Structure 1
């Protein structure tokens, strides 16, 4: 094949429109990736700031601490680390969308490869959500036990760690935001799986 023939084929490939199914898959990947990425980013930042405040409060030696609070913070931090990986997959969906729009069919990822990336993103979000749920359930159980152990109208300065404090609630909030962020990633991946496997 001469250079002129190769150039003609490349021009024809560029001028040819994408098949409708491929165009729709690229659009779905772009929008699901974009919405998933930004939703996870916003909720992740809120959760990270909340964990930061909780960690600062945990470092205060004058503060009365609750047993088990550290585990809740650990789960929140681990959930955020997994969220960063999940955000990479949401970004990857947008990159795959760009590759699918490539005029050169050899550069386009195959359907099985695309589905594998989506399934990996779904798995990462499910693991992150599980970690955040464990952390939230742990601290919620501690808060519930504290509130149930106090008699009604009890006010005592003897042992302040028996009362529900702001640190406990900050950790619950951080884990809840992390759960919501991972949920957004799960929904994004499930929508993609549904639309691409049709």
Structure 2
């Protein structure tokens, strides 16, 4: 059955609930705005590729696909953030039922999604930075505008994933635990 929680566990759960209430809306909308900006930059790169500029270099193609995958992981992370964090109020979660909902496991899924997304974004950024450096050293100025758009999109998505990771670590108390 339901065993009573110790006072220290109850205090930790209450602290987690309090932090969850403080951060959920800000974190979600911050990520959503950064994701929308990154999506617009990615679409700008796509339009530039198909109209004015054509960049068939390996770095640009690799960065394009990794940016797309990163945007998809951000969308998945936003979905789970919305599902777990924004609708916590509707459940009227008590300290006892919070432990039954296993919120840390749900936040763990969001953390894994953000870690994968940040990793993909970093690969995309490195590919695009390498491509821009190669162009700079070869002194060809063509298509650098679209390359910068893709790099900016990757930077926005990486920052959005970082915000999610920092929020989850703060909510669960990982950052302020004593060794």
Unaligned 5+ segments in structure 1 are 1-18, 151-161
The residue number in structure 1 matching 2:38 is 47
Query: C-alpha displacement at 1:99, in angstroms?
Result: 2.9
TM-score normalised by length of structure 2: 0.81
TM-score normalised by length of structure 1: 0.73
- 5 Å matches for 1:1-198? 22-60=13-51, 63-68=53-58, 69-91=60-82, 92-96=84-88, 98-99=90-91, 101=93, 108-110=97-99, 113-150=102-139, 162-163=140-141, 165-194=144-173
Bigger radius of gyration among the two: 1
RMSD, aligned CA: 2.5
- Number of residue pairs aligned between Structure 1 and Structure 2: 165
CA displacement 1:46-99 (0-9 Å, x = unmatched) = 000101111111112x53425021221111111111001111232212333543
Unaligned 5+ segments in structure 2 are 1-9
